[in-house]
Chains A and B, each alone.
Chain A
Amino acid sequence: MVEDYLAKNLAAVEQKWPERAREITLAPELPDSILDATTPEPTLIIDSLHLASGYDQQAEAVVQAGQIRKNADYAWVYGLGAGRLPELLLQRSRLKQLTVVLFNPSVARAIFHSFDLTPWLADARLELRSAAQENAVFFPFAAVPPCLLLADDASARLRDLVLLEISTPYIHRKHGEKKQLLRQRIRENLPLIREDGDVASLYGTLAGKTVVVTGAGPSLADHYDWLRCNNKEIKIVATDASLIPLLEAGVEVDYVVCIDSHETRILPFFETERLAACARANLIYFPVVHPDVLKLWPGKRFTAYSRDQLYDEIRWELPRGNLFSSGSVIHPAVDFAVKAGADNIIFAGADFGFPGGRSHVAGSRAMALSTGKKHHWLLDGNGNRIRTAPSLRGFLRDLESYIALHPNVRFYNAGRRGAAIQGTDLIHQDMP
């Protein structure tokens, strides 16, 4: 018979962290949790995910602990696994404090049942926290990936922030690989950049206004009636992928933002006879955008840069305003609205997920995304899980961090079907 360590582990936790012990005690048992003893080393499988290696958990812990430099005084571990990672780190005599963060009390309960964690739970340097109460990622850290995937609803935001930090070096490397191509693109666009306006000349021009920033998520269509009715009172800053659906719905846009350097992905966003309706609208573009897009635009064009080194070569010769950029076009779009002076910013169709199992609003020329795996989810405005892609979750968390830095602007979400965006309220009936 397999030994049950729950009571023993809980007793070790109770004295120092009564709240953690209470959460774990009250957490519902997971029906889909199996202690697999058929592998060389017994391991726990929850919801079809192995929590730790079934072959060599010590070797696995060594790989994971390698994320934390040897001379660290403080370290964080996100997720528990079979407990081997914190145990290994606490063998470092230099370490003064190790904070282990739990992402789901039910998962912790299953782990407590299956593994004897008492050899290290009593270590005075250990701190045990709940991800639901944490708002930021601390460094240096190591993570136990399946524990992140099994996060509960309250821990979803920290899960995404941790995953975002883990993927950042890879994203930077991929971006770096493209730089030569992007520099060439900037050189191609130089004659147009010289002719075009500076986005900074538009700063302050929307002071006191209500600005709607549109994404191309499926829920954009829910707001067409409202957008048409209020078209005169509001200003619309459209992301490129949302332009054609808006024009086809009879909504007039005031600004369109594009940043994507991918030629075949972005050109279809502008290839429409309806583009003539944008003669009075302004295009805000980054110099990496394909020149054909710029030439198609019937209205005025304004150039923007980001803080990326990529623009350092032309920054002095052709100074332009900087807009926040962190992977999604929604980031510079909202930063433009803020710098243009908007009082209220409403997101419409900024879904960051797949409500209704779709990746984009009907009519969008964006390439459909695979509508997600079971463990890739976030919460919608109603508190329900909707599927998403890891990149979209990262974009959402970066947007939320941006919003938190702008307390003087009021941010709203037009609907509840897309992602719940921290720092926004739902629009009310008397808006704008």
Chain B
Amino acid sequence: MNTIGKLTYAATEAAHGYRTGAEAQASESMIQVIDLLAETLPSMPEKTIIQLNQVLSEIFSAQQRSDFIWAADMLEYELCPRLQKATGLGQKHPGSKRP
């Protein structure tokens, strides 16, 4: 599995943990997400980096206020599609009006 594949897997695991109440497991997957992003981000276009940072900031803020469903939404429907788009693996997703 390439890095984007691993990232998508870890982000989905984190999101599913948040949606089912397994907060500690989700946080562990989030650490993997952050580590893999640190590996991947430097090779991405600046515009993508800015967008991903905005999404990450939204995720951290949601985590901070224990809004885990929103953190899961950001991971699954904002972070993953942007990563896949940036690497040419884009897929359709429900689309968003935020953030």
Binding site for B on A (CB under 8 A): 38-41, 48-56, 60, 63-64, 66-67, 142-143, 145-146, 148-149, 162-163, 166-167, 170, 373-376, 390
B21 interface residue per 8 A CB criterion:
yes
Q: Give the docked Cα–Cα distance between A51 and B66 (Å).
A: 12
Q: Which of A54, A60, A167 contacts B22 (CB 8 A)?
A: A167
Contact residues in B for A63 (Cβ distance below 8 Å): 16, 19-20
Binding site for A on B (CB under 8 A): 16, 18-25, 64-70, 72-73, 76-77, 93-98
Q: Which of A41, A54, A145, A373 contacts B19 (CB 8 A)?
A: A145
Q: How far is the CB of B71 from chain A (nearest CB, A)?
A: 9
> Are the CB atoms of A50 and B73 closer together than 8 Å?
yes
> Are the CB atoms of B96 and A145 closer together than 8 Å?
no
> Are the CB atoms of B72 and A53 closer together than 8 Å?
yes
New A-B pairs, 12, CB < 8 Å, besides A49-B69, A55-B96, A60-B72: A39-B97, A49-B67, A50-B67, A52-B69, A63-B16, A142-B20, A145-B18, A145-B23, A146-B68, A167-B24, A170-B22, A373-B64
Q: Which of B19, B65, B93, B94 contacts A48 (CB 8 A)?
A: B65
Q: Which of B18, B66, B69, B77 contacts A374 (CB 8 A)?
A: B66
> Are the CB atoms of B20 and A40 closer together than 8 Å?
no
Contact A166 to B22, CB < 8 A, known contacts A49-B69, A374-B65: yes
Contact residues in B for A54 (Cβ distance below 8 Å): 70, 73
> Are the CB atoms of A56 and B77 closer together than 8 Å?
yes
Q: How far is the CB of A52 from chain B (nearest CB, A)?
A: 6
Contact residues in A for B23 (Cβ distance below 8 Å): 145, 167, 390
User: Taking CB as reference atom, which chain A residue is nearest B72?
Assistant: A53
> Are the CB atoms of B94 and A40 closer together than 8 Å?
yes
Q: Give the docked Cα–Cα distance between A52 and B67 (Å).
A: 10
Q: How far is the CB of B81 from chain A (nearest CB, A)?
A: 11
Contact residues in A for B93 (Cβ distance below 8 Å): 55
Contact residues in B for A143 (Cβ distance below 8 Å): 20-21
User: Taking CB as reference atom, which chain B residue is nearest A52?
Assistant: B69
Residue of A49, A52, A373 with highest tally of chain B CB at under 10 A: A49
Number of A-B residue pairs with CB-CB distance less than 8 Å in the complex they form: 82
User: Taking CB as reference atom, which chain A residue is nearest B67?
Assistant: A49
Q: How far is the CB of B28 from chain A (nearest CB, A)?
A: 8
20 pairs across A/B with beta carbons < 8 Å?
A39-B97, A39-B98, A40-B94, A50-B67, A50-B73, A51-B69, A52-B69, A53-B19, A54-B73, A55-B76, A55-B93, A55-B94, A55-B96, A56-B77, A143-B21, A145-B21, A145-B23, A145-B69, A162-B21, A166-B22
User: Taking CB as reference atom, which chain B residue is nearest A147?
Assistant: B21
Q: Which of B19, B24, B96, B98 contacts A60 (CB 8 A)?
A: B19
> Are the CB atoms of A53 and B25 closer together than 8 Å?
no
Q: How far is the CB of A129 from chain B (nearest CB, A)?
A: 19
Contact residues in A for B68 (Cβ distance below 8 Å): 145-146
User: Taking CB as reference atom, which chain A residue is nearest B12?
Assistant: A63
> Are the CB atoms of A49 and B21 closer together than 8 Å?
no
Q: Which of B18, B24, B73 contacts A170 (CB 8 A)?
A: B24
> Are the CB atoms of B25 and A170 closer together than 8 Å?
yes
Contact residues in A for B25 (Cβ distance below 8 Å): 170
Q: How far is the CB of A245 from chain B (nearest CB, A)?
A: 29
Q: Give the docked Cα–Cα distance between A55 and B70 (Å).
A: 9
User: Taking CB as reference atom, which chain B residue is nearest A390?
Assistant: B23
User: Taking CB as reference atom, which chain A residue is nearest B97?
Assistant: A38
> Are the CB atoms of A50 and B69 closer together than 8 Å?
yes
> Are the CB atoms of A166 and B21 closer together than 8 Å?
yes
User: Taking CB as reference atom, which chain A residue is nearest B64?
Assistant: A373
Contact residues in B for A163 (Cβ distance below 8 Å): 21
Contact residues in B for A166 (Cβ distance below 8 Å): 20-22
> Are the CB atoms of B69 and A64 closer together than 8 Å?
no
Contact residues in B for A40 (Cβ distance below 8 Å): 94-97
Q: Give the docked Cα–Cα distance between A64 and B72 (Å).
A: 13
Contact residues in A for B77 (Cβ distance below 8 Å): 55-56
> Are the CB atoms of A50 and B21 closer together than 8 Å?
no
Contact residues in B for A373 (Cβ distance below 8 Å): 64-66
Contact residues in A for B20 (Cβ distance below 8 Å): 63-64, 66-67, 142-143, 145, 166
Contact residues in A for B64 (Cβ distance below 8 Å): 373
Residue of A39, A55, A60, A143 with highest tally of chain B CB at under 10 A: A55
Q: Give the docked Cα–Cα distance between A376 and B77 (Å).
A: 27
User: Taking CB as reference atom, which chain B residue is nearest A55?
Assistant: B77
> Are the CB atoms of B73 and A38 closer together than 8 Å?
no
Contact residues in A for B97 (Cβ distance below 8 Å): 38-40
Q: Which of B66, B72, B95, B96 contacts A49 (CB 8 A)?
A: B66
Q: Give the docked Cα–Cα distance between A55 and B94 (Å).
A: 6
